[in-house]
Amino acid sequence: QVSLVQSGGGLVQAGDSLTLSCAASGRTHIAYTVAWFRRPPGKEREFVAAINYGGDRTNYADSVKDRFTISRVNTKNTVNLQMNSLKPDDTALYYCAARYATGAYYYTARPADYISWGQGTQVTVSS
């Protein structure tokens, strides 16, 4: 199984940028998808973005499309989430997650479909 450790996050102002990182270890030789989810205050966990093992397929929630970019460096087993033009609505606890999957259905937006989770990192955007 893949183990995930997150870094990054913090307090920023609206319009600022921030990068979150997710480092994987363990069974990283098997093709795995990495996704980012977030839990805004008082709300359910929601899908943010996902990237396939090859790094050539990505998906984004409509709320972050054109502002966030997910990327991965497999030689370093790292997936990054570059967040630009941050808004107060982006305030949440962010998690990376992994699942073993390939092909057209490499990702889902359902948290229950992911087998490994990072520890979570807080992102707070002030207005």
Look at residue 123 in the predicted model and tell me its pLDDT.
98
| 32, 108, 111 from 8: Cα distances, Å | 22, 24, 21
Query: Does the pLDDT at position 13 exceed 90?
Result: yes
- For 21, the 3-state DSSP assignment is strand
Instruction: Please write the tens of the pLDDT for every residue from 21-71.
Output: 999 998 888 889 999 999 999 999 999 999 999 999 999 999 999 999 999
Average pLDDT over residues 6-19: 97
Token pair belonging to 119: 């520890």
pLDDT at 118: 98
Q: Exposed, middle or buried: residue 55 (CB in 10 Å: 0-12, 13-18, 19+)?
A: middle
* Per-residue pLDDT reduced to its tens digit, 70-95: 999 878 799 999 999 999 999 999 99
